[in-house]
Amino acid sequence: MNMPYEPNNKQISGGGTMQAETANDIAEINFMDLWYNLLDFKWVALAIATIALAIGIVYATVATPIFSADVLLQVETKQSSGLAALEDVSGVLAANGSNVTGELEILKSRTVVESVAQTLGLAQSIAPQYFPVFGSWLASRHERALGLAEPFLGLSSYAWGGEQLKLAQFAVPTQFTDQPFVAVKGEGNSYSFYSPSEELLGSGTIGKPLTFNVGYGTGSVTISQFDANPGLKANVVRRHPLSLHNGLVAPLSAGEVGRNSSMIRVTYESPNPIFAVQFLNELANAYLRQNVERKGQEAEQQLVFLDQQLPSIKEQLRKAEDALNVFVQSKGTIDPTLDTQRILGQDVELETKRVELGLEREKLLQRFQPGHPLIQAIDDQLAQLRSVRGGVASQAQALPEVQQEYLRLRRDVEVNQALYTSLLNGAQQLKVAKAGTIGNVAIVDYAQQPKRAFKPNKGQVVALSLLAGLLLGVLAAQALAMLRSAVRDPSKLEQATGLSVYSIVPLSQQQTVAEKGLRRRTDKVGLLAVSAPNDPSIEALRSFRTGLQFATIDSPNKRVLITGPVPEIGKSFVSANFAAIMAQAGKRVLLIDGDMRKGTLSRYFIQEERGDAKHPGLSDVVAGTVAFDKALVKTELEGLHVLVSGSVPPNPSELLLHPNFIALLEKADVEYDYVIIDSPPVLLVSDASVMGQHCSATFIVARYGASNVRQVSDSQKRLAQAGVRVNGLIFNGFIANRSGYYYGYGYGYGYKNSYGTYGDPVQGKKA
C-alpha cells in the first residue's frame, strides 16, 4: 500500500526509486543542474550564440583590413670608420659599446619621424568624405578603371569610388592645425574652400594656389588633382608636428631580435600596404642618415678637442726635454741604476694613464655634468691610479737625490712624448674617419609589400565570436535559471514546508501532444485516465488515491481541494484525471471547477466551438440563475459528474461567501462519495482560502522545473492564515532522467478580467 512520499525514497509510478541527495550533496554544485538549465533555456542560448556569430561574420566582412610590413636593422658594436682612434687613447668609450635601447628611442624620435613625414608629404592630407558606416567599404570595392561611381541615391557630397585627389601645398596658422578644412568640388576645375566653422574662405582653381584669411593669420592651399563628382566634399588637414609624430608612431613597433643580438626589427601596421612599405623603408633610410650624421658630428667634436690639446702637449714636451738637457749638462753623464729604470717604467706608465684619463674627463665635461656616470667612472680610475702611484713614489724616495731628479725629468719627457705621439696619430685617424664615416647601423632587409592582410583574421574572428556567443548563451541560461529558482527535487519542498509529497506525477508525453493539438482545434482534450490508463502519470495519481483515503478516513466530509501557487502547473490536469480515477474505482465523484475567472476543466469534458456561450456552471448555480441539476455535465465515466466554472461573474470571491455555495456543497455530500474542487491559484486570489475552509483535505500542486520553494511556502502560509490546513503536496511534471533544483522565480497569471499578478509571470506546460 503506497504511503506519502518520504524524503529519502522518491516513489514514482512503475515502481522506480531514486535515492535523494544527502545534506552534503545539497551543499555541492550539481553540474548536471547546469546542463539541465541549459536545456531549459536552450533557445535563449542559441539565440545569443547566433547573434554573436552574426556580429562576428559582419565584422569580419566589413572591417578594414590591416597590413603589416617590417624592416630589419643591425646595430654594430663598434664603428668601422676609424672612430675608435680616440678610444685607443682613453679606453673609456670602448666600454660603452652599442646601446640598442637608446637606438630604439632614436628610431622613433621626432627628428627621424618628421624627416620621413616631410619626405612622404604626410604633414598635410586631403581625403574625400564617405557615407557613414558602409560608405568607405563600398567605395573601396569600386574599380577605379571604371571611372567615377554614380552617387548612391543622389548623395553627391560623399565619395562612392573612383575619386582621385592630390594636395600640393597647404599652410595655415598653428591654431588651425589638425582641424578639417573642407574643399567642395565645383563644375570643371573649380572648387570652394571652407573653414572648420563652415565659413567660405574663397573659390579656387585646380593646380593654382589659393590664398585666404583665417583667424588672425593667412593661409594658402594648392590642390593639384580633384577628380570627383561635382558637390563632393573633401577634408583638408594640416597636421601639428606633435600630433603628426604621435599618429605615425602609434602603429609602429620596434624591438631587439633576441637578447644581445644587436638586430632590430621594426614593424608598421596600416590599412594601406603600399604606404606601410614606403613609410618603413623611408624610416630606415632616415635613421641611417641620422646615424651617419651623428657619427660624423662625434668625429668632428673629437677632432676639435684633439686640435685644441696638441699645442699644449707639444709645448709641455719641449719644456720637459729642455729641463732634462739642462740637468744632464750640469751633472754630467748619469748612469741610472736598475731600480731607477724599473721605477721609471712604472711611473711613466701610471702618469701616462693619468694624463689620458684627465684629457678624456675634460672632453666629457663638454657634454655632461660632473655627476654623470661616465665622468664618475673616470674619477674612480684616477683615484685608483693615485693610490698606486703613491707606492711607486715611496720607492723613488729611497733613491739618491740625483737619481730622483733624473727620474722625475725623464718621466716628464717620456710621458709627454707618448701622449703627444698618441694624440697626433689619433688626430690623423679622425681626419680619415671623418671623411669616411658610415655609421654603426646597417639595413639588413628592406620592407616588402605584404600579400595578405595581417588582421582581422576572418576565421579566427568568426570562431571567437561563436565561442563567445556560446559562452554568453550558457551564462545567460544559468542566470535565467537562477532567477527562476525552480525545484526539481521534491525533498527540497518537504524540507522547506514540512509537508509530505503524496505523489510524484511524471511528465506525460501523450498529454503534451494532446495539449498542443488543442491549440489548433476546438475539440476537447479528453482524459488521459481514459485514453491511456497505463500512463505513468495516471499510475502515480492512483497512488495518490490511496494516500487520500487515509487522509480523509476520519473527516466529516469527503471534500478535497486541489490548488496551486500559480497558473500553468497542471493543477486542472491532476484534478480532472484524479476524479476520473476515483470514478473508475466505483466512487461517485463530483468535480467542481472553482476557477470562476479562468476555468479550464470544461475542455476535458465539453466540446465547444469558439464564440459559443459558456456552459452554465458553479457561478450560475451559486447566483441562483441555473438549477444544480441543470448545470451538471455527465461524463462518459459512470459516477463522474462535472460542474464547470460557468459564466464569469463580476465578483467571484464575494460569490463564494453566498449561502448557496455552502448549500451546494452540502447537497453534493449527500449525492456523491467525493467532491473534488479545482481552485484558482492561491497566491493570486483569495478564492482558494475560502473554498478550503469548507473542505476536509487540501493539497497543493507544485510543478517540476517551474514551481519554487517560495511559491509553495507562501501558499501554505496564505492558506494557514485563513484557517486551512494543507495535508500535502503533489509534485507534477517530473522528468525521471533529471534531478536538481533552481533558485528564484515569480508568480503571474494576468490578463484582462483575470487574477492580476503575483511577481513575474510563470511560463510552463501542463502535464
In the prediction, which pLDDT does 192 show?
A: 95
Q: What is the mean pLDDT of the chain?
A: 78
Together in a domain, 100 and 153: no
CA distances from 222 to 120, 197, 225, 522 (A): 17, 20, 9, 81
Confidence band for 672, pLDDT divided at 50, 70 and 90: very high
Q: Of residues 434 and 363, which shows the higher confidence score? A: 363
Task: Outline where DSSP puts E strands in 645-708.
Answer: 674-678, 697-703
pLDDT band at 293 (very low <50, low <70, confident <90, very high): confident
Q: What is the 3-state secondary structure (H, E, C) of 177-221?
A: CCCCEEEEECCCCEEEEECCCCCEEEEEECCCCEEEEECCEEEEE
| C-alpha grid cell, residue 42 | 536552450
What spatial distance separates the first Cα and last Cα of the chain, rounded to whole Å? 25
**548 in the same domain as 525:** yes
In a domain, 344, yes or no: no
Note whether 521 and 619 are same-domain residues: yes
Highest mean pLDDT among 90-94, 181-185, 362-366: 181-185
Is position 223 within any domain?
Answer: yes
Q: Could you say which of 238, 258, 275 is where a domain stops?
A: 238
- Say if residue 598's pLDDT is above 60: yes
| Cα 53-57-59 angle, rounded to 5 deg | 115
Q: Is residue 388 predicted with pLDDT exceeding 50?
A: yes
What pLDDT shows up at residue 547?
82
Torsion of CA 470, 475, 477, 481, to 10 degrees: 170
pLDDT in tens, 297-345: 666 666 666 666 667 767 776 776 677 677 666 766 555 656 566 666 6
- Kindly report, residue by residue over 608-655, the tens digit of the pLDDT: 655 455 788 898 998 888 998 888 988 888 899 999 988 888 888 888
Is the bond preceding 7 in cis, omega lying within 30 degrees of 0? no
**CATH at residue 654:** 3.40.50.300
- Per-residue pLDDT of 4-43, as tens digits, reads 444 444 333 333 333 444 444 443 446 777 777 787 788 9
Q: Are residues 115 and 251 in the same domain?
A: yes
Residue 749 lies in a domain: no
Q: What pLDDT does residue 288 have? A: 86
Query: Which has the closest alpha carbon to 13: 544, 556, 586?
Result: 544
Domain encompassing residue 449? 65-123+245-334+358-388+412-455
Query: Per residue in 188-237, pLDDT tens?
Result: 999 999 999 999 999 999 999 999 999 889 999 999 999 999 999 999 99
Whether 592 and 720 map to the same domain: the answer is yes
Question: For the segment 544-572, what is each residue's pLDDT rounded down to a tens digit?
Answer: 888 888 877 778 888 999 999 998 888 88
Q: Report yes or no on 340 lying in a domain.
A: no
CB 692 within 8 A of CB 675: no
Q: Which set of grid coordinates corresponds to residue 716?
A: 501554505
Query: pLDDT tens, 236-287?
Result: 999 999 999 999 999 999 888 877 778 889 999 998 899 999 999 999 888 8
User: Sign of the CA dihedral 366, 372, 377, 383?
Assistant: positive
With 50 as the cut, is the pLDDT of residue 706 above it? Answer: yes
Is 402 inside any structural domain? no
Residue 617 CB contacts under 8 Å (≥ 6 apart), including other chains = 593, 596, 599, 602, 631, 643, 644, 645, 646, 647
* Residue 345 belongs to a domain: no
Interval 470-489 mean pLDDT: 82
Are residues 55 and 116 located together in one domain of the fold?
A: no
Helix, strand, coil tally for the chain in percent (to 5) = 50, 15, 35
